[in-house]
Amino acid sequence: MSDLAALLDSERIPRHVAIIMDGNGRWANARGLHRTAGHARGEPALFDIVHGALDLGIEWLTVYTFSTENWGRDPDEVAFLMEFNVDLLERRRDELDELGVRVIFIGDHEDERIPKAVLDRMRIAEEQTAGNTNLNMVYAFNYGGRTEIAAAARRIAEEAASGTLDPADVDEGTIAQRLYCPEMPDPDLVIRTSGEQRTSNYLLWEAAYSEYVFTPVLWPDFDQQELVRCIAEYQDRDRRYGGAIDGIFDDDPAQS
């Protein structure tokens, strides 16, 4: 990783990288395998990226593991994904802890379709790693951006109805503080693998000014080299946040 990282500007490493890990099914289909084999092969790719994020000094890594829309898939695939996530947490929890990774889950976890065993292991992983500071690894599990914003709106309505919040005081900060993980900074970079170019309901509020990088690489083939390439593309971008392009009016007589 160190050789690759040398290609990057170490002063402008994104603080928060969010990834839409897509293309597992197509990876498996191309090999005549069942879709679930693609999900299984996504695990080593994910852990390669965790190591890469640690080496690069990325502070927050958020990964989309199951969307609120993914319930619409074949029941066998849904059941596999639920089981797989329990299994993964069980097998990798100590390893993540030893690496100093803090695990955080975001999403709708009151959904009764999530097996209790999954919820229990989510809580155990969060508790065991709560004191770690090398990397915050956020699992977006049963996550949907619209569901997240709706949940914040519901809380605000409840607080207004009970008289603890004045509707006139509701601003962007009021909503941001009621999202799933208020301490999570907005992503600087959102990467989507597999060539699809859409958000699929990921971090709708948080990614308002994120840079998007789309790569054709299918998630099981994604590795640290591809991560560095995506960050290099990010570092080539000019983040403007709605402002003017730096220096464009410098020689404009109308401005002087």
Contacting residues toward ligand IPE, per CB under 6 A: 20-26, 64-67, 70, 81, 194, 196, 198, 200
Is 70 in the active site? Answer: yes
Site string for Mg ion, 131-160 (x = CB under 5 A): ------------------------------
Q: Specify the pairing of strand 101-106 against strand 135-143.
A: parallel
Q: Which is nearer to ligand IPE, 13 or 215 (CB)?
A: 215
Select from ligand IPE, Mg ion, none the partner in contact with residue 34, using the beta carbon and a kind-dependent cut-off of 5 to 8 Å. none
Quote the least distance from Cβ 182 to Mg ion, whole Å. 29
Quote the least distance from Cβ 217 to ligand IPE, whole Å. 12
Quote the least distance from Cβ 232 to ligand IPE, whole Å. 23
Structure tokens at 71: 């319930």
Binder among 19, 22, 137, 192 for Mg ion (CB under 5 A): 22
**How does 160-196 read in b/e, with b if 16+ C-beta sit within 10 Å?**
eeeeebeeeeeeeeebeebbbbeebebbbbbbbbbee
DSSP tag of 115: -
Select from ligand IPE, Mg ion, none the partner in contact with residue 81, using the beta carbon and a kind-dependent cut-off of 5 to 8 Å. ligand IPE
Q: Which listed residue (22, 24, 142, 201) is catalytic?
A: 22
Quote the least distance from Cβ 144 to Mg ion, whole Å. 15
SS3 246: coil
Residue 97 to residues 46, 113, 130, 210, 218: CA-CA distances in angstroms?
16, 28, 9, 29, 28
Q: What is the DSSP string of 174-240?
A: HHHTTSS-TTSPPPSEEEE-TT--S-TTSSTTTTTT-EEEE--S-GGG--HHHHHHHHHHHHTS---
Quote the least distance from Cβ 65 to ligand IPE, whole Å. 6
Q: Which listed residue (70, 87, 108, 221) is catalytic?
A: 70
Binding window for Mg ion (CB under 5 A); candidates: 17-25, 75-83, 131-139, 244-252: 17-25
Binding window for Mg ion (CB under 5 A); candidates: 21-29, 46-54, 61-69, 243-251: 21-29
The sign of the CA dihedral 97, 127, 180, 221 is positive
User: Alpha-carbon distance 140 to 46, whole Å?
Assistant: 14
Select from Mg ion, ligand IPE, none the partner in contact with residue 70, using the beta carbon and a kind-dependent cut-off of 5 to 8 Å. ligand IPE
Residue 150 to residues 22, 24, 156, 197: CA-CA distances in angstroms?
25, 29, 10, 24
Kindly state the helix (H) or strand (E) to which residue 172 belongs, with its residue range: helix 172-176
Which residue's CB atom is positioned nearest to ligand IPE? 25
Dmax (CA) for the chain in angstroms is 68
Select from Mg ion, ligand IPE, none the partner in contact with residue 145, using the beta carbon and a kind-dependent cut-off of 5 to 8 Å. none
Select from ligand IPE, Mg ion, none the partner in contact with residue 24, using the beta carbon and a kind-dependent cut-off of 5 to 8 Å. ligand IPE
Q: Which of the residues are catalytic?
A: 22, 70
Chain residues binding Mg ion by CB under 5 A are 22
